[in-house]
Amino acid sequence: MVVEIAMRWTKVLRTGGLGLRFMAVDRSTVMFNMHNGNEVTELREFVLSQEEAYEVNIWKQEFQDRRSSSR
């Protein structure tokens, strides 16, 4: 399932013009590589807006989805 999510997110974000690649790391973790670090805010907002995501870690800083508190 994580592989399918990674592939779907990659396609959506490439269509939106972001140069990046998602990879499934384990059963609950997706890692991404970006071509342009200036787009990290857009990436973070996209990931946290997805139903499957509850947090994002960027450069050792953790961002949680607002819905996480109710999970």
The CATH code of the domain that includes 59 is 3.30.70
Which residue's entry shows tokens 């990674």? 6
Note the pLDDT of residue 22: 83
Give 15-50 pLDDT, tens digit per residue.
888 888 888 889 889 998 888 889 899 999 999 999
Instruction: Name the more confident of 51 and 69.
Output: 51
Note the pLDDT of residue 41: 92
Are 10 and 23 in contact by the 8 Å Cβ rule? The answer is no
Number of domains in the chain: 1
Q: Which domain, by its residues, includes 52?
A: 2-70
pLDDT band at 69 (very low <50, low <70, confident <90, very high): low
Are 44 and 56 in contact by the 8 Å Cβ rule? The answer is yes
